[in-house]
Amino acid sequence: MNAPPMNAPALRDQFGRSIEYLRISVTDRCNFRCIYCMPQEGLPWLPKADILSYEEIAELVRQLAPLGLRRLRITGGEPTIRPQLTTLVSLLRAIPGIEDIALSTNGARLPEMGAALKAAGIDRVNISADSLRPERVLKIARRDLGFDTRTVAAAAEAAGLGPVKLNVVVMRGINDDEVEDFARLTLDHPWHVRFIELMPVGELRSLTWDHVVPSEEVLERASRVAPLADVAAGTGPRGNGPARYLRYAGAPGTIGVITPMTHTYCGSCNRVRLTADGRLRTCLYGDHEVDLRGPLRAGEPLEPHFRRALAEKPREHDLLQMQVGGLRALSQVGG
Ligand code: SAM
Ligand code: SF4
């Protein structure tokens, strides 16, 4: 771990929330086509020239770290399909003040890449896993890449990329009958299964509000396996997320819920996002974006642009007021 820079002034937005966590999208492309994220034919991809190079991303983080940025997550699209991802990880790892680098991935390439990613400096991974049944994975991810959730999670753990978190988007009538099976994984493995409420982003062509399963219902189903108790604050798995964590007595893993639809955590939001083409988004759900690629390529200092973006960070989002499909897919904004 690198020492934090001395006297770094905390970056705060207009509501006093300190911003120390940046999610970096390295590509908008993906080798999956999850039904809640992308249409089968893909999306209009960004031109390659618009995408920040690894050196440009590292330069941006170098300028933000002295302002208090401490934690990073590399995401996409699917980050592992961008060539030589380890080059970026090594560049980021060398930046003073950066304490933690996580990766969000669909996991298909983790068995082959996990050890190299760990060696380059990734601390831990979140893996998207919406079914434990291969035939159902095919229906949800719409690609056959030899994906098996247990194998991928075990490979990540063996590579030292724990605590492994499994992100499950729960969809009524599609995979909600697997809540108990996913929850049972935590009885045998030190894995953290996080159930995510489906959000009305992207095109969601075949999905509707009826597919959203509220987290209370998910927890009620998980508690049919055995009684669940809240994990005391500060003793849950390391991370930056807004999840509430629970545990079965004696279980090595935990169960979490991420509830963008039924509860907001805007009051404690500590994150901003960098899109693959270099725009800073201060809220996942709005249109607030500030271009950093222009100033970066012009050799200008980024701090004024970053402070301007933070000054405009909205107090909270209101997803329930939005139309299904009214927002861009998470793959396009660095979900
Ligand atoms: N490809 C990587 C992955 O799947 O983990 C990283 C990018 S993906 C956009 C990040 C996360 O967003 C995944 O956990 C995915 O399940 C979630 N996600 C995408 N679209 C979503 C939606 N409509 N509702 C809820 N979660 C969604
Ligand atoms: Fe790809 Fe992740 Fe979107 Fe699935 S959720 S299509 S894996 S970017």
Considering every ligand atom, which ligand is closest to the CA of 35?
2
Residue with CA at minimum distance from ligand 2 atom 3:
37
CA-closest residue to ligand 1 atom 14: 128
Q: What are phi and psi of 212, to 5 degrees?
A: -75, 130
In this prediction, residue 262 carries a pLDDT of 63
Predicted pLDDT at 272: 84
Query: What is the CA(331)–ligand 1 centre distance, in A?
Result: 7
The answer to whether 132 and 147 are in contact (CB under 8 A) is no
User: Going by CA atoms, what residue is nearest to atom 11 of ligand 1?
Assistant: 335
Domains by residue range for the chain, with CATH: 21-333 (3.20.20.70)
| Substitution candidate for ligand 1 out of 27, 74, 104, 317 with most atoms within 8 A of CB | 104
What is d(CA 88, CA 148) in angstroms, rounded to the nearest whole number?
Answer: 27
C-beta separation of 93 from 59 below 8 A? no
CB-ligand 1 contact for 335 (6 Å cutoff): yes
Q: What is the pLDDT of residue 324?
A: 43
CB 212 within 8 A of CB 198: yes
CA of 25 to the centre of ligand 1 (A): 12
Q: Is 260 in the pocket of ligand 1 (CB under 6 A)?
A: no
Query: In this structure, how many other beta carbons lie within 10 angstroms of the beta carbon of residue 1?
Result: 9
> Cα dihedral angle (170, 113, 164, 42), rounded to 10 degrees?
-20
pLDDT, residue 16, reads 59
Q: Are 36 and 25 in contact (CB under 8 A)?
A: no
CB-based pocket (< 6 A), ligand 2: 30, 32-34, 37-38, 76-78, 106, 128, 331
* Whole-number percent of the chain with pLDDT over 90: 61
The bound ligand whose nearest atom lies closest to the alpha carbon of 260 is: 1
Tokens standing for 93? 């790892």
CB 251 within 8 A of CB 263: no
Q: Whose CA is nearest to atom 8 of ligand 2?
A: 77
Pairing relation of β-strands 244-248 and 254-258?
antiparallel
Amino acid residing at 136:
R
Of all protein residues, the one whose alpha carbon is nearest to atom 12 of ligand 1 is 335
Tell me, what's the pLDDT at 98? 97
Query: Cα(233) to centroid of ligand 2, in Å?
Result: 30
Strand partners of residue 89: none
Q: In angstroms, rounded to a whole number, what is the distance separating the alpha carbons of residues 74 and 85? A: 10
Cα-based distances in Å from 321 to 36, 62, 285, 300? 19, 38, 11, 38
In this structure, what token pair is assigned to residue 209? 């509000």
Q: Give the residue carrying structure tokens 């995979």.
A: 175
Take atom 2 of ligand 1 and give the residue whose Cα is closest: 105
- 117 contacts 161 by C-beta, under 8 angstroms: yes
Residues of the chain short of pLDDT 70, as ranges, are 1-18, 147, 200-205, 233-243, 261-270, 283-287, 312-335
For ligand 1, atom 22, which residue shows the shortest CA distance? 199
Mutate-to-test residue for ligand 2 from 25, 31, 36, 37, highest number of ligand atoms within 8 A of CB: 37
Rounded to the nearest whole angstrom, what is the distance from the C-alpha of residue 9 to the centroid of ligand 1? 32
Whether the predicted model's global pTM rises above the 0.95 cut: no
Give 48: exposed, middle or buried? Use CB within 10 Å, 0-12, 13-18, 19+.
exposed
What residue's CA is closest to ligand 1, atom 17?
Answer: 335
